[in-house]
Amino acid sequence: MPVIKRVFLFAAATFFAHTSQAQSEISRDGEGQKVIKGFLTRDQLASDTAFKWFSANQKDYKPYAPALQSLTAQKDSVQFLVFAGTWCHDTQFILPKFYALASAAGIPDARISTVGVDVAKKSQHNLTEVFRVENVPTIIVLKNGKEAGRVVEYGKSGMFEKDLGEIVKGK
């Protein structure tokens, strides 16, 4: 897909994320877990009692120092597009830590767009197809509206923060 088209779609996704929170689809998976397909916010995840995992997995988290340094240094030049499954154990472990890392680095929520996917890993507005997302969580780092890299699940190193810091730093 041409870069300009993906930049436009990211801009549209960001707009939708900040204007259409109430239009998310809510269902339950086979285990009875709440599934949100649509745009999510940190506040929504932190305040919904169905997502007790969010605060539990932020408790006692200490950001990986090199990643924190990279994100802090680049906080004004990066944006994140995160695909997550509220039903997914990897998302439940990584997403709260990602938000804690972003907060510690001073990255405002306006620079993070989180897209909830269903158990088939489909999203509203076909964003999973547009951004070729196959697994969650997927954290896409954007610089100047272009993808600089992505971390899928725990990343190549097994430490999502390490991989994220290296992408942001430009390695």
Task: Supply the CATH classification number for the domain 3-169.
Answer: 3.40.30.10
Which pLDDT belongs to residue 117? 98
Q: Is the peptide bond before 96 cis (omega within 30 degrees of 0)?
A: no
In degrees and rounded to multiples of 5, residue 23 shows phi and psi of -95, 10
Model pLDDT for residues 104-135, shown as the tens digit of each residue: 999 999 999 999 999 999 999 999 999 999 99
Model-level pTM?
A: 0.87
CB 123 within 8 Å of CB 116: yes
Domain locations in the chain as residue ranges? 3-169
